Amino acid sequence: VKPWTPARLVKTLLASAGVWAVLAGACLMVGSTGGFGWPNRAALGFRLDVVLLASLVGAGLSSAGVVFQAILRNPLAEPYLLGVSSGATLSAYLWHLPFMTGWLTLGALGSIGEPLFAFGGAVATILIVFFLASRRGRLEPVTLLLVGVIVNAITGSIFLLINSMPWIRDPATPGGSLRFLVGGLQTNLTWHQIWPAAVLIGVAWVALLWFSGQLNAALLSEAEAESLGVRIHRLRWIGLVLASLMTASAVAVSGPIGFIGLVCPHVGRLLVGNDQRRLLPLATALGAGLLAVADAISRALSRPGAAETILPVGVLTGLLGGPFFLMLLWRSRHRALEGG
Amino acid sequence: VAARLRGRPPVRTLIARTHTGVDVVGGGNFMDDLLRLAGGQNVIQSGDNSYPTIDREMLVSLNPDVILQIVPGAAPQEIEQAMAFWPTVGQVSAVRNGRVHVLTDSYLLLPGYSVGRIAELLADKLHPQNAEKDQR
């Protein structure tokens, strides 16, 4: 690992911002109406909103993916492993129910109620997972993964149970939080509803960048990390809490969009290696840019004669990211066979 | 309903089917048929029994004169969130002229024995002058 300097940091940040700017700029040329080209002022405003929202969500998921993969020392780890998405889905669904009508959903939270409920559900799930998985203040990656998978399954089952009870919600009622099951950018949201997520993702990202040098040590064994002076258990807590908060914020405004948090860190690794100080900014930029691209494809497909509807962007990331995930598995298996 | 509205020009209408405002009713389904019967013209022309999702850019380009947001059994917080969306597309004629109607009756999206009532309700919203005349 090369020594880190302010100049190197600035260079990395500028290169990453450049990658994002090129991808996001191209996405501004694609709309649901008309051809490929620069839009008029009104359409530009709408496209800018959605490109920035996609970038925010993609950046949050991808950087969370970097941290999860480093701390859990698992290349297949992704931000939803700890049940964040199912917790958010359940909580957002509860917000819709008539018996939830009251001062909290109407007066206090107003129009930001749904995303805030989703965020609250995600955070509550994370707290439960961390509480169950920690022993004497320490987080063991394998226990954490197992508890995350189980809590995810339980929360998902509770959601489906409530959803199938007609006396709780009229089965004729369409929509609701079912759209949280397949992630999609909620283009109806305004910045008034999004800025809390943007602030949280931004602050957590800066904190993660601060710790990114230590994240390199998380890839080593506990003994090796401790010998380098890194307090590995404290680092795990900090990293996982920050990454989970970022994931919760992203899910609150988009639902669970798959594969961005899994694929972008790997693409970044192919380009700059496994030094987390360079990987984190680049993977963030790739996540932001690629989700904006996936959303632009979805917009382009919504034109008459094509899909004629805006596909949930989670469908596209799944279709593109799924094969990539399988390729990673195949390559790692191939390498293991060659090594063995 | 059709006889009452004969001779009236069809009103360009968008039917939103969830509280988001961007999940809409397309062509070739019973709601589209009822809308036509009630003196409306669906601004979403596409599809055979389609229920597409659009975005704000498309919504503005479609520029409907009336928006019917149908959210059966919606809780007050859903209605509040639904209403918070429309000012973000203030360029749309329906929004500018205060012709966004949120309808919450439970039967509105069900193709059953209430289709007559649905057509009456849609006609009243699309052609309020006729509704007032009938009441007199």
pLDDT digits (tens, 9 = 90+) for A5-42: 889 999 999 999 999 999 999 999 998 886 778 888 88
Name the band, by pLDDT with cuts 50, 70 and 90, for residue A173: low
CB-based contact (8 Å) between B73 and chain A?
Answer: yes
pLDDT reported for residue A152: 85
Name the band, by pLDDT with cuts 50, 70 and 90, for residue A83: confident
Residues of A in contact with B77 (CB under 8 A): 95-96, 100-101, 105-106, 113
Which single residue is written with the structure tokens 């930001």?
Answer: A112
- In angstroms, the Cα distances linking A96 to A77, A158, A220 are 31, 15, 45
| Spatial contact of B71 and A170, defined as CB atoms under 8 Å apart | no
Tokens matching residue A17: 């911002």
Mean pLDDT of B59-69: 94
Mean pLDDT of A192-216: 90
| Spatial contact of A296 and A25, defined as CB atoms under 8 Å apart | no
Among A274, A275, A266, A272, smallest CA distance to A325 is for A266
Name which of B55, B57, B72 is nearest A173 (Cβ-Cβ). B72
Rounded distance, CA B85 to CA B104, Å? 17
Kindly report which listed range (A102-116, A206-220, B98-112) carries the lowest average pLDDT score. Answer: A102-116
Which single residue is written with the structure tokens 């597309």?
Answer: B89
pLDDT above 70: percentage of residues in chain A:
89
Count, residues in chain B: 136
Rounded distance, CA B18 to CA B78, Å? 9
CB-based contact (8 Å) between A51 and chain B?
Answer: no
CB-based contact (8 Å) between A187 and chain B?
Answer: yes
**A170 contacts B52? CB cut-off 8 A:** no
- In angstroms, the Cα distances linking A295 to A184, A194, A197, A305 are 9, 17, 19, 18
Name which of B21, B22, B78 is nearest A96 (Cβ-Cβ). B78
pLDDT above 90: percentage of residues in chain B:
48
pLDDT reported for residue B73: 80
Nearby residues of B132 by Cβ (< 8 Å), 6 or more positions away: none
| ipTM score | 0.84
For residue B75, the distance in angstroms to the closest alpha carbon of chain A comes to 5
CB-based contact (8 Å) between A5 and chain B?
Answer: no
| Spatial contact of A239 and A141, defined as CB atoms under 8 Å apart | no
Among A251, A244, A287, smallest CA distance to A144 is for A244
Of all residues in chain A, the one with the smallest CA distance to B77 is A106
Rounded distance, CA A235 to CA A249, Å? 21
Phi, psi of B77 (to 5 degrees): -65, -30
Tokens matching residue A190: 């305004």
Tokens matching residue A42: 């009104």
Mean pLDDT of B45-72: 89
- First and final C-alpha spacing in chain A: 27
* Whether pLDDT at A322 is above 60: yes
Strands of B51-132, DSSP E:
66-70, 100-103
Rounded distance, CA B135 to CA A21, Å? 60
Rounded distance, CA A333 to CA A330, Å? 5
| Spatial contact of B14 and B94, defined as CB atoms under 8 Å apart | yes
Mean pLDDT of chain A: 83
Mean pLDDT of A171-200: 71
In sequence order, which ranges of A72-112 are alpha helices (DSSP H)? 84-96
Of all residues in chain B, the one with the smallest CA distance to A106 is B77
Render pLDDT for A36-74 as a digit per residue (tens, 0 to 9).
788 888 888 899 999 999 999 999 999 999 999 998 888
pLDDT reported for residue B12: 96
* Whether pLDDT at A89 is above 70: yes
Name the band, by pLDDT with cuts 50, 70 and 90, for residue A334: confident
* Whether pLDDT at A175 is above 60: no
Phi, psi of A272 (to 5 degrees): -125, 5
Rounded distance, CA A86 to CA A288, Å? 23
* Whether pLDDT at A179 is above 70: no
Of all residues in chain A, the one with the smallest CA distance to B112 is A172
**Which secondary structure element, helix H or strand E, spans residue A279, and what is its range?**
helix A276-301
| Spatial contact of A308 and B26, defined as CB atoms under 8 Å apart | yes
CB-based contact (8 Å) between A338 and chain B?
Answer: no
Tokens matching residue B130: 């006729």
Rounded distance, CA A216 to CA A227, Å? 13
pLDDT reported for residue A129: 87
**B75 contacts A188? CB cut-off 8 A:** no
Pairing verdict, β B11-16 and B40-42: parallel
Render pLDDT for A135-150 as a digit per residue (tens, 0 to 9).
887 878 888 888 888 9
**B72 contacts A101? CB cut-off 8 A:** no
* Whether pLDDT at A106 is above 80: no
| Spatial contact of B48 and B67, defined as CB atoms under 8 Å apart | no
| Spatial contact of A300 and A322, defined as CB atoms under 8 Å apart | no
Mean pLDDT of A196-213: 92
Render pLDDT for A265-317 as a digit per residue (tens, 0 to 9).
998 988 898 899 999 999 999 999 999 999 999 988 887 777 778 888 888 88
The H helix count followed by the E strand count for chain A is 11, 2
* Whether pLDDT at A201 is above 90: yes
Mean pLDDT of chain B: 88
Name the band, by pLDDT with cuts 50, 70 and 90, for residue B136: low
Nearby residues of B94 by Cβ (< 8 Å), 6 or more positions away: B14, B64, B65, B66, B67, B100
**Which secondary structure element, helix H or strand E, spans residue B11, and what is its range?**
strand B11-16
**B46 contacts A304? CB cut-off 8 A:** yes
**B54 contacts A33? CB cut-off 8 A:** no
Mean pLDDT of B107-134: 84
